[in-house]
Amino acid sequence: MIFIIVLVIFSLDQLTKILITKNLFLYQSVPVIKNIFHITLVRNTGAAFGMFKNQLYLFIFTSIGAIVLILLDLKERRGKKLDIYSLSLAFILAGASGNLVDRIRFGCVIDFLDFRIWPVFNIADSAITIGAVLLGWKLCIR
C-alpha cells in the first residue's frame, strides 16, 4: 500500500509539472481566485522558500541520502499494517523523489502553486510538508 501512495503522489506531482511547463511560460501567472490563488510558473534553484540557491549537487545528494534512508526504513516495516509513521515516510519519499527528478532533469524545481502570501510551491513540496507534520505528530504522541 505504501508504494501505491508514493506512486500516486509522485505521478500527480510530475503530471502537474508537465502540464504547467507545457502551457505556461516562465513567470506567467494565471489567476484561479484573483489575488488569492494563482498558477504561476517559477523555477526554484534553492530549497524551501528559495533558501540556499544554486546548491544543485548538495540538494541532489541530500535527496538521494534521504530517499535511501526512507526506503531502508520502509523495507524493515514491510508486512506491518499501515500506520501514521509509514504514511508520513511515504509522503516525504514521494515529495523528495518528485523534486529530485526536477533537479536532475532541469537543474531546478518546478513550482506553480501560488497563494500570493506564501512562496510558490508544488505538489512534492506539499507532500513533504504533510509528511513532516504527520511524522512530528506521531513522534510527539508516542
State how far the alpha carbon of 10 is from the alpha carbons of 24, 64, 92, 119, 124, in Å.
21, 15, 10, 21, 7
Backbone phi, psi, residue 102, to 5°: -60, -50
Q: Of residues 13, 102, 111, 114, which has the active-site annotation?
A: 111
- Does residue 125 have an active-site annotation? yes
Query: Dihedral angle at the C-alpha atoms of 108, 60, 37, 9, nearest 10 degrees?
Result: 130
Catalytic one among 13, 102, 114, 125?
Answer: 125
Q: What type of residue is 6?
A: V
Query: Cell numbers at residue 79, please?
Result: 508486512
- Clarify whether 111 is annotated catalytic: yes
Residues with a catalytic annotation lie at 111, 125
